[in-house]
Amino acid sequence: VISPEGKKIKQYRSRIGKVEITLEGLEPSLSLYPNTLSVKPDI
């Protein structure tokens, strides 16, 4: 059984190209980058 939240994550996973989690002090920062052909990832 997959929860509705799990279905949402699975639905949007293909749209997310890269996920970055950075820790600034004690404050975690989550950055999502869309997975689109027009956007070139910074390497």
CB 31 within 8 A of CB 19: yes
Q: Which helix (H) or strand (E) holds 35?
A: none
pLDDT band at 25 (very low <50, low <70, confident <90, very high): confident
pLDDT band at 17 (very low <50, low <70, confident <90, very high): confident
pLDDT band at 37 (very low <50, low <70, confident <90, very high): low
For 29, the token pair is 């920062």
- Where are the chain's structural domains? 4-34
CB 23 within 8 A of CB 37: no
pLDDT at 34: 75
